[in-house]
Structures are given as structure tokens and as C-alpha cells.
A and B are shown apart, each in its own frame.
Chain A
């Protein structure tokens, strides 16, 4: 029978003091999951890899995972499920586009901009715009190149739109699918800290194609040098965004496989640019200014090349 004193409310001491008084007592600690993981990551990190935090995105990845789990809960046959992929505002889309064009060294595009909210609006409409931009610019460029010739009859070349559409949409969807499958396979062999979902990869690829839109418009200029400089420039910009995104995902793997993966990503990106340039834009004619050749008797002779 408990005494009256036992039934009175007692202030409990701090857990540390109680434990000091009774070291063998069983204890249960209930901590917030975020804090636990933060402590764990803190212990696992070596001091030299602090600057990689931003690339890895480990500090709040758990929090964002929780948030992501709460969002996409509608079953896939309802309309609301697909609405979660379009849950972006205008300023967010513009920010993501800006992030794909101006890569900040050391910042990961996915972590900085996507933050577990991958959208399908950007990839879809950037690809659509790119398809029509390439077709229209190619048509215009060919028109200006062949303008003076008497035998040239302008054709709208509408077939090329469907070819452009197939190529660009295949690139924007099949390459991320292959890359995602490859990364999943490597994940099962080597424990990578960073892994991306399929939609995040599609997002990165879609937004990285944005730089080709102004490039395609500038390709109307019929100078070979200008076109190749543009190719190099846009490839560097968007290629660096892709490299900085995917390097942390393969870094912990075998060195050669990591380099091969990143190299393939850049190579495919370059192939797309060069292929579009070669197929949709005719080569500009060599158009040197008329050289002046001094003839023997002092008069100048002007020849057209």
C-alpha cells in the first residue's frame, strides 16, 4: 500500500542527475529524428569535407525527405497526383532557369533549386520551345544563306519539326532514364551518400537544355566560327551544371567508372548540340571578301572566290 507521500507529485530532476544517482536504471530517450541524424552526420564527416556539404546536401536532406514523403501521397490514377508535379510558381521556374544558365561553382543545382520539389513544367515547355526554336531558326538561317541565289526557292521545311521534336524529347527523357537506372545499379554495389530520384534527373536535364534556346537563335548568324564558339560556350555552361550535379553521386565509386559516367554525360550533351547544328543549319558558304591581286602591269585585278 503506497504511502500518502508516494502519491504526491514530485518534481523530477534533470535526467543527468537522476542517472548519476542511479546509474543502472533503464532509460528511454526520445529525440527528434532530425537532430539525431544531424549528430550522426556530424560524427561521420571528416573535417576536410565541410565544403562538400553544399554539394552533398546532407544537412537538411532528411528534413526534405520527410516533407517529400508528406506531399506525394495521392494515388497515381488521380489527377491530384500529377498536379504535385506542377506545384511551382513563376518565380521558382525563373530561378531554376537562372540556376541552369549561371552555374555557381560549388553549388548543386538539385539541392539548391529543386529541393525535393521537382517539376515537370520546366522540362516539358523548355523542350517544346527548343524544338520550335531550332526548327524556326534553321529555316530562317537557310533562307538567309541561300537568299541571293537565283535557283533557290524557299520551302518551309515543316518535316524537320517532327524530327526535332523526336530527338529532343528522346534526349530529355531517355537519357535521364538510362542515367537513373545506371545510378541505381551502382547504388546497389557501392553505398553512395547522394542519390537522385528519376524526376530530379529529368528536371536537371530539362533545365540544362534552356541555354540552347538563345544559342539556337544566335545560330542564325551564318558564320562558322561564331556558331562553333556558341556551341562551346553553351556546352561549357550547361555541361558544368550537369557535372556539378552528378559528380557527388558517383564520386564514391570506382574512379574510372565515375570519370566514365561524367564523361558520357558531357559527351551526349555535346552530341545533341553538334547534331542539331549539323542537321538543321546548312553550312554557310565560304564568303571571303574579294581579294585584290596586283597584276603585272600595275592594275589591280579583283577576283571573286
Chain B
């Protein structure tokens, strides 16, 4: 620093210049700013995401789209429609009827939360809401089964209709369980997979039982 000892700037000399911040590319926030787009675009984007996940459930391949961008709209819609379709069952005495709307709701959501907690406690690496998302979306085959059952029951409620309903519900139950296992199994420690899959099996079994035992008034 010996060479700079002589440098001095007198206080009267104005210092001027330009200060510019070099702007390289557009800041990444501008790409995701959705405040200015029309409302239709916002809604359509969410609807498309939900629809894409429905397709993923019906044809379960190991894709991470379902896991990465979780949302709970689909499970909510499925749960509400399933609970609504389970209404109107035989309820001649108030104690012996089918499940009430609140009971279906509670069973599905509380069951999904318990299964998620179970898999996390066993050492799973999936996040809480991702797991809820997968379990909720995989109720789709069972909702389809409920729809089919109600249509079959419109035609009649004899043995033939029961056999048809049984086959449809069993097939959809298998589909739901396999779909959710395909998505969730990878995130579990390898020697505990059966411990995590069994509660999922029980969960969909209970929902299938509710669907199968639905009898109209």
C-alpha cells in the first residue's frame, strides 16, 4: 500500500458517473406471475392438473407427476361425490342404516391421515400431503364402482345384480390398491413394505364394503 499513500481526492471535486445494475435475463419470478392472466386460465390450469392426475390413476405408471405437484382438489371432489352417492340407502330405523355423509367423510379423511402417519412413522420418505394426495386420488376407481352399482341397482336388486356389483367392486378395489401401492411403495424402507401396504389394503376394503352393502330404500 505504499504506492497509494500519495493518492488523495480533494473534497471539492465532484465524483460523477453512472450506476447501472446489469440485467442479464428476465428475473424468474416474471415467468410465474399469474396475477394478470384471465381467471379462465387459472381455473383451467388447475382443472387440467386434476384431470391429468385422474388419468394417471386409471393407468398407473411410475410417474412422479402425481407426487410432485400434489393437490387435494381431486380427493375432495371424489370424497364428496362418493359420500353423496352413498346417501339414500335403507334407513328404516335410524340406527341400522348405511353410513351417514359425515361418517363417510371422516372415514376417508381420517383413514388417509392415519395411513400417512403410519407410513411416516415407519420411516417413509414421502411427504404428508403427497401421501394424502395419492390415497385420495386412488379412490377414483371405487367412485366409478359406486356409480356402476347405483346404475345396476336401478335395474333391479336380485341375485344377478348382486353378483355384477360384487365383481365390479372387487375389481375396482384391486385396482385402487394396486394403483396406490405403485405410487407409494417406492418411498418405503424395503423391509417394511408389507407393513405399509396392509393398512392401505384395509382402508380400501372398508370403502369397498360400504359400497357393496349399499341397498336402496
A residues near B, CB below 8 A? 79, 82-83, 85-86, 88-91, 93, 121, 125, 128-129, 132, 136, 139, 153-159
Contacts and interface: CB of A to CB of B under 8 A. Distances in A.
B206 A155 contact: no
Contacts, number: 69
Contact of A83 (B121, B209, B215): B121
Interface string B100-134: 00010000000000000010111100000000000
Nearest to A86: B121
A93 B123 contact: no
Given A89-B192, A125-B198, A158 B98 contact: yes
Contacts of B198: 125
Given A125-B199, A155-B215, A85 B121 contact: yes
B195 A156 contact: no
Interface in B168-217: 191-195, 198-199, 202, 205-206, 209-210, 213-215
Nearest to B93: A155
A121 B192 CA distance: 11
A86 B196 CA distance: 11
B99 A158 contact: yes
Contacts of B206: 132
Contacts of A156: 89-90, 96-99, 210, 213-215
A88 B198 CA distance: 15
Contacts of B192: 88-90
9 contacts: A86-B123, A89-B192, A90-B192, A91-B191, A154-B215, A155-B90, A155-B97, A155-B98, A156-B213
A90 B195 CA distance: 6
A157 B96 contact: yes
B202 A128 contact: yes
Contact of B96 (A79, A86, A88, A155): A155
B207 to A, nearest CB: 11
A155 to B, nearest CB: 4
Nearest to B212: A156
Nearest to B99: A158
Contacts of B191: 89-91
Contact of B209 (A90, A136, A154, A155): A136
Sort A-B residue pairs by CB-CB distance and give the 10 closest, nearest first. Answer: A155-B96, A156-B213, A86-B121, A89-B191, A90-B194, A158-B99, A156-B98, A159-B95, A86-B122, A157-B96
Given A121-B118, A136-B209, A158 B92 contact: no
Contacts of B120: 79
Nearest to A124: B118
Given A91-B191, A139-B213, 10 more contacts: A79-B120, A86-B123, A89-B191, A121-B118, A121-B122, A132-B206, A153-B215, A154-B90, A154-B213, A155-B97
